[in-house]
Amino acid sequence: MKFLRMKPGHGEVLIAEGDVEVREDEERLVDEFRRQLDAGMWAAVPLSGRGRRTAQLARSFDEVPRDAERVIFFPRAAGG
Amino acid sequence: MLLALAATALVAIALLWEAAAPRLVEAIERRRARRKLVPTADYDPGRERRAEARARQLLRSCVNEEEWAMYRDLGFVRVWGTQSERPGGHEAAAGTPYAYLIYPHKPILAYLPQTGRLLNEYCVAFPDETRPYGSARLPDSDDVLAKWMALTGDERRLIETANLHLPGRQLDPRQVRRDLWRLRQWERERARAAVAAT
């Protein structure tokens, strides 16, 4: 599983990577996930299916599907 | 003789030093002050272009082929609405399908595809206050992807976060109607090409 973060002036940046089946990796990913949300990010998991594609917003690491390949973090929405 | 010349040279150097020293010290201080200036992230068009190229690749990898082609060809993405109530509480529009147009760094526009009626503008932004290169603004395609993920992931949450306005506040309704016409033409053309390919 890869954690990507959108960044102004750069595009996405790989911030963490690991195998959720490996305990140490999972703990690292959970910590990083929490850190990103604490920093004001939203997390989304792009879902690929046949035809229409969607994303799933995750408010905690538990909501991220175990087989997700990537989680994209982006700044939380604000009224413009 | 040599002694006299050496003494004269020493006096000359001392006098020159007296005259030049203040200027030299000032120049050194000025140079130090310049180096102490807070570094500003200058606008770098090359960096912005590379960021946008990366963002386009990421967007392409997330949306489906039609949405990607729409963005590439028309500059916006249409996302169908999924709430049972129409956005903005439009009673007259209840029960009919509605959709959003996502433009980079512009409000999201809700409309009725069947009639072309414009419903609302939703002003929303994704500012990154860490400002890594001096700007809080995501690349265009990242902004579109953020809106797309937020809309398809939790439409209600995004709509509730956004500032609601009537159409025409930031997006020119004539331009939007023209975009909707372009979208219909584009879809017809794709349908024709798909039939021809079979």
* Per-residue model confidence as pLDDT tens digits over B51-70: 999 999 999 999 999 999 99
DSSP single-letter state for residue B37: S
Render the burial of B117-138: b for 16+ CB within 10 Å, e for the rest: ebbbbbbbbbbbeeeebeeebb
Nearest to A79 among B146, B148, B163 (CB): B163
The residue behind tokens 């009673």 is: B91
The predicted pLDDT at position B94 comes to 62
What is the tens place of the pLDDT at every residue in B141-194? 999 999 999 999 999 999 999 999 999 999 999 999 999 999 999 999 999 999
Indicate the DSSP class of residue B88: G
pLDDT at B88: 63
With CA atoms as reference, report the closest residue to B95 among B76, B115, B66.
B115
Strand ranges (DSSP E) for chain B?
77-80, 99-102, 108-112, 117-125, 163-165
As a whole number of Å, the CA-based R_g of chain B is: 31
Which chain A positions have a beta carbon within 8 Å of B127's beta carbon?
Answer: 75, 78
Mean pLDDT of chain A: 95
| B161, B154 contact by CB (below 8 A) | no
* Chain A: closest CA distance from residue B24 (Å): 40
Angle, vertex CA B160, rays to CA B157 and CA B161, nearest 5:
85
Whether B127 contacts chain A with CB within 8 A: yes
DSSP string, B153-171: H-HHHHHHHSEEE-TTSSS
What global pTM score does this model have?
0.82
The pLDDT value given to residue B179: 98
CA distance B42 to B170: 28
| Contact residues on chain B for A55, CB-CB shorter than 8 A | 62, 148-150, 152-153
Structure confidence at residue A63 (pLDDT): 97
Q: Per-residue pLDDT averaged across B37-57, rounded?
A: 83
